[in-house]
Amino acid sequence: LLRKQWVKELDETLHSLEFSRADKLKDVLKKYVEIIEKTSYLMQPDVYRLINKEAMIINQALLGNRRAIAQLFLNLMEATLQQEVSNHHRWQDLVDTWKALKKEVLVQSFSEFMASERIQSPPAVKKELEAMLKTQKAMQWKRLEHLYMFCELLPPAYSQDRLTEWYSSLVALNKQLGDTYHVDCMMRIRQQYEKTWQECLAQVQKCKNQLLDWKAFTEEEAGNLVSPSFFQMVGVLQSKVEEELEFMDNSFEVLAKQTERQSLDLFRYFQDAVQLWEAHWSVLSVQELELEKRMEQHRQKQSQENQVQPL
C-alpha cells in the first residue's frame, strides 16, 4: 500500500511539473510573439506560422513526456503488483508452514492428553475398583463363614427346615454379591468413565477454540482438524474400555451362574446325604428293634430255663 501511494504521488508530481512547464512555455511563446511583432522583421502571418510551428514541436515533446510519465506509472504499478503478489505468495507459504506446525503441536498435545494416566486409568475408576475388591473380599468371607455352618447341619443334629433356611440364606448372599452389588459397581464405573469421556470432549472443544483464537484458522478448518482425528482417538479409547467393561460384565455373569449352580449342587448333595443317612438310620433302627426283640426273647428263655432247674 505504501509503495502504491508513493507511485501515485510520483505520478501526480510529474504531471504537475509537466502542466507547470506547459504553462511556462505558453508564457514564453506569447512573450516572443510580442517581441517579434514589435521588431516588424516578419509579417504577422509569418510570425504566427513560425510560432505555431514551434508550439507544435513543443506540444509533441510535452505529449511524449506525458506518454513517458504514463508508461512509467504503468511500469511502476505493474512492478508493485508483481511484488505484492510475490510477497503474498511468500507470506501465504509462511502462514501455511506456521499453521502446519501449530496443527502438529496441537495434535501432539492432544495425543499426550489422551495417553495420560488420568485418561487411560481414571483415578475415580481405580478407587471404585479398589472399593469393589475390598467389598468382594468381605462378602466372600461372609459367604465362606455361612458355608462352614453346614457342619452344624450334619446328622444327627440336622433338620430339614434348618437346611432349607441355610440354602435360602446362601442364595440371598449369592444374589447380593452377584446380581446386586456387581451391577451397582459396574454402573458406578460406567458413570466415572462417562465423566472421562466428557472431559475428553471438552478438551477437543478447547483445542478447536485454540485454533480459532489464533485467528489463522477458519471454523471449517478447525472442525476438519478435530472432527476426524481427535474424535477417532476418543472413540478408540471408548471402544477399548467398553470391551473391558463387557468382559467384566460377562465374567460376573458367568461367576454368578457358576456360584448358583455350585450352591444348588451343594444343597442337593446335602439332601442326598441326609436321605442316605435317614435310609441307613431307618435300617439300623429296624435292626436295633429286632436285636432288642431277640435279646428279650433270649432273656425270657434263659429265665424259664433257670426256673425249671431243681433246687
Q: Please tell me the predicted confidence (pLDDT) of residue 281.
A: 81
The confidence band for 137, taking pLDDT boundaries of 50, 70 and 90, is confident
Report percent pLDDT > 90 for the chain: 11
Q: Please tell me the predicted confidence (pLDDT) of residue 81.
A: 83
The confidence band for 242, taking pLDDT boundaries of 50, 70 and 90, is very high
The confidence band for 47, taking pLDDT boundaries of 50, 70 and 90, is low
Give the pLDDT confidence of 194-240 residue by residue, as tens digits: 999 999 999 998 988 888 888 888 888 888 878 788 888 899 999 99
* Average of per-residue pLDDT values in the chain: 82
DSSP assignment of the chain: -HHHHHHHHHHHHHHHHHHHHHHHHHHHHHHHHHHHHHHTSS-HHHHHHHHHHHHHHHHHHHHHHHHHHHHHHHHHHHHHHHHHHHHHHHHHHHHHHHHHHHHHHHHHHHHHHHHSHHHHS-HHHHHHHHHHHHHHHHHHHHHHHHHHGGGGGSTTS--HHHHHHHHHHHHHHHHIIIIIIHHHHHHHHHHHHHHHHHHHHHHHHHHHHHHHHTTSS-HHHHHHHIIIIIHHHHHHHHHHHHHHHHHHHHHHHHHHHHHHHHHHHHHHHHHHHHHHHHHHHHHHHHHHHHHHHHHHHHHHHHHHHHHHS--
Q: Please tell me the predicted confidence (pLDDT) of residue 239.
A: 92
